[in-house]
Chains A and B, each alone.
Chain A
Amino acid sequence: MSAPLAEIRGLSVSYGRDDARSFALQDVDLDIAKGRRLAVIGESGSGKSTLALALAGLLPPQARIEGAIGWPGLAHPPVAGRDIGMVFQDPGGSLNPVLTIGEQVAEGAVRHLGLDWRAAQSHALALLERVRIPDPQAALGAYPHQFSGGQRQRIAIAAAIAAKPGLLIADEPTSALDMVVQAEIVALLDDLVREAGMTLVFITHDIALASGFADDIAVFQRARLVEKGPAQAVLTKPTHAYTKHLLAAQIDFSTPRLIDGAADA
């Protein structure tokens, strides 16, 4: 395996004063391998979203950060948007309600790819086609409220990858959507990552969803990383009690795999 894209070493994130500190992440060591799909699994409050924000450098100013995130896979410190794309949970809130889809998808390309607005608009058109928005030409001039939740998430994904980042972090991108749309979004992310050779960090509380297509799995519980490894190993021979518990809770439902043939890639 080549050098990892990112090396997280002893990372802790905490809030509050010294006498009453609360940890959102505590002493995390994790590598993100280039070109692979890492599923970060945990309940809400487990620190998985804090990890996403820490990777993208978006933690609020009052957060206390210890440890380090190294980027051996990059020649320079990562720039949000250009090197790291992010997709969030609520596709309704991610898009600015008063700006056109075209502007919001294109603005990242203008910023990072040095395109002028004309070129960025045709770039945006191609992106909307790639995320399979019907009638992308019309969508350029439309506003977020004119689309369904699933379509909005597709548009947000298009905006997130507009500057061709090497790493895409998707933070619960499907949990606000219904089952059928969930599967479509996961399939879309899988396609996009394969086509562009991107690294994907997929954050979810749903181990069944993650097991469908992840190469590696990292399990978080109460601000700590409790288990990590190749998906196959973690799913078949979990070592930590919490992972076993998560699997036991899920496997009873015999969830069909959403994407076939991905887990052993």
Chain B
Amino acid sequence: MHRALTLTRRRIVSSIPVLLIVIIGTFLLLEAAPGDAVDAYLLSLGGGDAGLVAELRQSYGLDQSLVKRLILYVGALLRFDLGWSVAFDRPVLDLIAERLPNTLWLMGAATALAFSLGSLLGIVAGARPGSLTDRALSIGSLALYAVPSFWLGLVLVLVFAVALRWFPTAGIETIASGKTGLARVADIAWHLVLPVSALGFIYLALFLRMMRTGMAEAWRQDFVLFARARGLARRRIVLRHVARNALLPLVTMLGLQAAAMLGGSVVVESVFAIPGFGRLAHEAVSGRDAPLLTGIIIVSAVLVIVVNLLVDIAYAALDPRVGSGEASS
């Protein structure tokens, strides 16, 4: 556990300057937008006189210089104050805190689906490289990998919600159903089946392909020949010796894909009308809500850092070489 702790500390320390770059960059990018939050706010009110404009600008700190506002913003961030959403007229942090859990459920379930099924099918394909099953899975996964998630979502809706009526077409739960406890959890899970599939299938294909490649590589290792020379059961060779080693790069990929998956949830949440973090981003763009969008980007960067931290810990648990100077990255 000591290795994992050292690793965690190192990762957190090295993340601080990177996060600062993200904050400054995002702040500057959204500063470059024509018009500011007050303009957007006034637009929503239908205009206002010059006195109101000046007063509002002052209350948001918009009359200060750019550098001063940046310092104010970073200072506020340190107090976990992400600013005020113009479009929703609520604190940004509250909005994000309200929406984030839905997205975390969606991403968590999609990751679990993609990782478990992807590595399982990858083992099936990689157990006998070059076999008919292997080739079929290889071609199938490449085709699946080329499918845009939002379009896959629509096709799934068409087939499983409109035609077969097995699942709801949209939403995160039945509105005003009055369900509580387990019944509500089941209801949410039922609503999430299609969106999770739409988001997860691409990663399923990715993990399948990685597992397959990793297994092909592992078969060529000396320790597999040694295992065969000891007459071990094929099942044991495939699972403990080949697949166990091929799994390691998949865990790394889990961290690398966290950012892409968060981006993918924006579209999938829009397709299925899930009130999540991604949809909030879409709403922030539509509402020209710069403070909200800035907050969303910063929180997503923090989220990606946290996911990578967890992945590092998981990797250290799976690969005994980590931290011994012999790790294969």
Whose C-beta in chain A lies nearest to the C-beta of B218? A96
Contact B230 A143 (CB under 8 A): no
The answer to whether A90 and B222 have CB atoms under 8 Å apart is yes
B226 at the interface (CB under 8 A from A): yes
A-B CB pair tally, cutoff 8 Å: 83
- Chain A nearest CB: distance from B277 CB in Å? 36
Q: Hey, which chain A residues are within 8 Å of B236, CB to CB? A: 107, 111
Q: How far is the CA of A156 from the CA of B226 in the complex (A)?
A: 9
Q: What is the interface of chain A mostly: helix, strand, loop, or mixed?
A: mixed
A selection of 24 A-B contacts at a CB cut-off of 8 Å is A58-B225, A80-B228, A80-B229, A80-B230, A80-B231, A81-B231, A85-B229, A85-B230, A86-B226, A90-B222, A94-B226, A95-B223, A96-B223, A96-B244, A97-B319, A97-B321, A98-B248, A107-B232, A108-B231, A145-B320, A145-B326, A146-B324, A159-B230, A162-B230
Within 8 Å by CB of B233, from A88, A103, A111, A163, lies A111
Q: Whole-angstrom distance from the CB of A114 to the nearest CB of chain B?
A: 13
Of listed B229, B233, B240, B248, residue having the most chain A CB within 10 A: B229
Chain A residues with Cβ under 8 A from B318's Cβ?
A: 98
Q: What is the bound-complex CA distance between A263 and B232, given in angstroms?
A: 35
A163 touches B231 (CB 8 A): yes
Q: Is the interface of B mostly helix, strand, loop or mixed?
A: helix
List the interface of chain A (C-beta within 8 A of B).
56, 58, 79-82, 84-86, 88, 90, 93-99, 103, 107-108, 111-112, 143, 145-146, 156, 159-160, 162-163
Residues on B with beta carbons closer than 8 Å to the beta carbon of A93:
221-223
Chain B residues with CB under 8 A of A108:
230-232
- What chain B residues lie within 8 Å of A86 (beta carbons)? 226, 229-230
- Report the minimum CB–CB distance from B229 to chain A (whole Å): 4
Chain B stretch 231-262: residues in CB contact (< 8 A) with chain A:
231-233, 236, 240-241, 244-245, 248
Nearest-neighbour CB distance to chain B for A48, whole angstroms, equals: 16
B321 near A143: Cβ-Cβ < 8 Å: yes
**In the complex, how many angstroms separate the beta carbon of B174 from the nearest chain A beta carbon?**
46
Query: Is the beta-carbon distance between B227 and A56 smaller than 8 angstroms?
Result: no
